[in-house]
Structure 1
Amino acid sequence: MTATKTPLHAWQVVAATSVPVVGIAAVLVLFPPAPFSRLLPTFPALTPGVTAVGSGDRSITPNRSAVFDLEITNHGGGPVSIDRLETTIRAIDAPASTPGSPCTIRDFVVIAPSSTLGIVVHPGTTRLSALDVPRAQWPTVGMADSADNQGGCSGATLELDFVLSVEAS
C-alpha cells in the first residue's frame, strides 16, 4: 500500500507589527529603537487550519535585522507537513515619511524570503525553534542598504505575509 499526501491548503497569514527604525541623517543622528509589538494576525477561516504568529527579536535599524521565531498552531486533529514558508512585505505605514525623507517598501528587505522547511507539526502550538528549524530559515526583515536618508522610516509599521505550503501527513 502506498501512502500519499493530500494537499490541504497554501494560504496567507497576514500580520502587522510596529517596526521601529533608526533613520540616518547627514549628521548621523540616530533615533532610539523601541521594542517590537506582538504581531496582530488576521487568519482566513480554515478547518482544519494552521496559523502562524510571531514577534521580531529586536527592532529594525540600518545594518540590523529582526528575526521571527514563528509560533505555529495546528488546529486540526492530525499532523501536517509544512514544506515551504514564504515571507513578503505587503504594505507599510510610515507616519514620519515626508517628501524630503520618504519611506517605502523598497526601504525594507526580506532576507531568505523563501525557505524549504520539511517539518511536521502535530496538533497544538509550537515554534520554529522547538521544531529545530535553523535560525537562518526563519523569516527575517531588515532595511535595504541605501545612501538615502531613511529617517522617514522611524516608527514605521510593516504588514507582512507568511505563506505556508501545508499538506496532511
Structure 2
Amino acid sequence: MQPQATRMRMPSGRAGVAVKGVLLSLLVVLASVASLGASGGQNNGNATGAKETKGIIVAVSPSSRSLDQGQSAAFDVTISSAGGFGGTVTLSAAGVPSGATAAWSPSSGVFTSGSSTKVTLTVSTNPTTPTGKFDFTVTATGGNFQSNAAKAQLHVKEVKRNFGISGSLTGALAPGLSLPIDLQISNPENKSIAVTNLSASISQVVRAPGAVAAGLPCGAADYAITQYTGTYPLTVQPGATSLSALGVPQGSWPRISMLDTLLLQDGCKGATLEFTYSGTGQAN
C-alpha cells in the first residue's frame, strides 16, 4: 500500500507543473499580441501621415478692434512658411470700410523654409467713414502661392461731439412752486450735432448769510428736479441755441421744484442753487 500512495502523488505534482506551463505560455501569447497591436498602430500612422503642403499661412490678432470715426486701429499679422516655401511675400487686406485705408509695416518680406515673421496692419478711418461692423480678410502672396484668407473685424463707432449746456431760473422758488429751465446749448463744431441726452442736477445749495448765522438748514433734499421729457435727438446747428429756440414746448423742459415739507424751511430763503448739466451728442 505504501508504494501505491507514492505513485499517486507523483502524477499530481507533474499535473501541477503542466498547468503552470500552460498559463505561462498563455501570458506570453497575450503580451505578444498586445505588442503587435501597438506596433501596428504606429506603423499605420506613419504610413497615412500626409506631407505638409507647400505654401503660406497667415493669422491675425486680435480678431476684432473698435474705434471712433477718424481714428486708427492696429492688428498683428503673423506670416509663416509651410512645406518648404521660400520667397518674397506681399500682403493685402480686402473688405475694409469705404473711406478707410490699410497700411503695412513692413509691406513685404523675404521668407526661407520654415521661417515666420510678424507685421503690423494699421487701418485708418476718417470722420466720414461709415459706422458699423465690417468683416475683412488678410492674405499673403508669394510667387504662385497665396495664403489662407485670415478673417478679422473692424467696429467703427460714431464719434461723440463736444458741446456746452447752461441754464438758469427766471424767478424765485417757494415751497410747492416749480419753475422751468430753458437750457442753453452751444455747439462749437463746424457741423450740426444730434443731442441724444440731457440731464440736470443740483450740485450745491448756498444759504444766505443770515441763514448760516442762525444755523437754519437748507439743502438739496428741499428740492426736486424733473428731467427733460422731450423727444430725441435734438439737432443743434453750429453756434448757440436754446430749448425754446429749438421749438421744444415748455412742458418738456427740465423743471426745479421746492418741496413743501413739514420741516422749517426758513434756511432756504435767499438761497442760491447751483446746477450741473450734462448730455451726449453725436455728429450728424
Q: Of the candidates 15, 36, 50, which is equivalent to residue 163 of structure 2?
A: 50
User: Aligned residues, how many?
Assistant: 129
RMSD of aligned alpha carbons: 2.3
1 CA distance for matches of 2:229 and 2:279?
10
Alignment partner, residue 199 of structure 2? 86
Q: Of the candidates 253, 260, 263, which is equivalent to residue 148 of structure 1?
A: 263
Structure with greater helix share of residues: 2
By how many angstroms is 1:103 displaced?
0.6
Higher RCO, Cα 8 Å, sep 6+:
1
- In structure 2, the CA distance between the partners of 1:115 and 1:144, relative to structure 1 (3 Å rule), is farther
The runs of 5 or more residues in structure 1 that have no matched partner are: 10-48
- Written as runs of structure 1 = structure 2, the 5 A alignment for 1:126-165 is 126-165=241-280
Q: Is the partner of 2:232 in helix, strand or coil?
A: strand
Structure showing greater radius of gyration is: 2
Between 103-112 and 76-85, the greater mean CA deviation after superposition: 103-112
Alignment partner, residue 174 of structure 2? 61
Q: Is the partner of 1:136 in helix, strand or coil?
A: helix
> In 2, are the aligned partners of 1:65 and 1:142 still within 8 Å (CA)?
yes
2 CA distance for matches of 1:122 and 1:75?
9
By how many angstroms is 1:140 displaced?
1.2
- In structure 2, the CA distance between the partners of 1:155 and 1:135, relative to structure 1 (3 Å rule), is same
Q: Is the partner of 2:267 in helix, strand or coil?
A: helix
Q: Is the partner of 1:133 in helix, strand or coil?
A: coil
- In structure 2, the CA distance between the partners of 1:122 and 1:140, relative to structure 1 (3 Å rule), is same
1 CA distance for matches of 2:245 and 2:228?
21
1 CA distance for matches of 2:178 and 2:234?
25
1 CA distance for matches of 2:229 and 2:264?
29
- In structure 2, the CA distance between the partners of 1:79 and 1:55, relative to structure 1 (3 Å rule), is same
Q: Deviations over 1:115-159 (max 9, x none)?
A: 653210010111101112222222211112311111100111112
- Tell me the percent identity: 32
**What TM-score do the two structures reach when normalised by structure 1?**
0.67
The runs of 5 or more residues in structure 2 that have no matched partner are: 1-97, 99-128, 132-156
